[in-house]
Structure 1
């Protein structure tokens, strides 16, 4: 599998947002800043790998409608992310209910944050040399 600078950049920017959200939710729900930090740190590693793989799979998707694509990606990623957070919260705290609460809270916060992140990345050409070249040719033909 070829590494993509776009997918790596998206992974890093999303992970910064996601880790901060997880840290704050874990701290608030557990009432313990150390547990919140541990969960966020562990998630930093697991989610980077899972997100990159998710991006690679979706890159091959034939779905062209941007809104439909972003909504489906949002739900598929949230399913993966929620399971990961639940398991990590359970492992770190030793309490499956706390893991479930953190994962449940993230369903709302992360879906909103992820959707905005996807819309932002869809609008920029970073790492999409082919899209840039097509647009440049289109602009030349139209006289822009």
Structure 2
């Protein structure tokens, strides 16, 4: 039987990418003043962020940060995942925004704005997925 966690991570990747792309498009449009630039940056991220997010999920699935053999309590784990993902995502966004807009300050502004919006959105995305058993054996949710 195949590891069903792969299906879960792919589903999480898709749902997060939808939320993240919409956020990036809106922020990029507002910061650059150009809706086409916002769309270009948002759609460029679909590929890079999907790959990076999937890899991030696989790494975190294997990480056990506990002292007594039990997984780190879910809210602390989700906060740690949020921070590590945002660092990766922000660097990717700033780089793409700079390349696409041709303006390093636009890349920096978009990346900094995303730190606030994306960390909040990602935390709630994690909390929602924590309550969903798709791709996992039955478990109790705390």
The TM-score, its normalising length taken from structure 1, stands at 0.88
Taking the TM superposition and a 5 Å limit, the aligned residue runs for 1:1-144 are 4-63=6-65, 64=71, 65-129=73-137, 132=138
Q: Which has the higher helix share?
A: 1
Q: CA RMSD in A?
A: 1.2
Q: Which runs of 5+ in 2 are unaligned?
A: 66-70
Output the CA distance in 2 between the equivalents of 1:113 and 1:33. Answer: 22
Q: Deviations over 1:12-70 (max 9, x none)?
A: 00000000000000000000011000000100110000000000000001132101100
- The aligned length equals 131
Higher relative contact order (CA 8 A, sep 6+): 2
**Aligned match of 2:68:** none
Output the CA distance in 1 between the equivalents of 2:100 and 2:60. Answer: 31
Output the CA distance in 2 between the equivalents of 1:61 and 1:116. Answer: 21
Between stretches 2-11 and 79-88, larger displacement belongs to: 2-11
- Runs (4+) of structure 1 exceeding 4 A deviation are none
Between stretches 55-64 and 9-18, larger displacement belongs to: 55-64
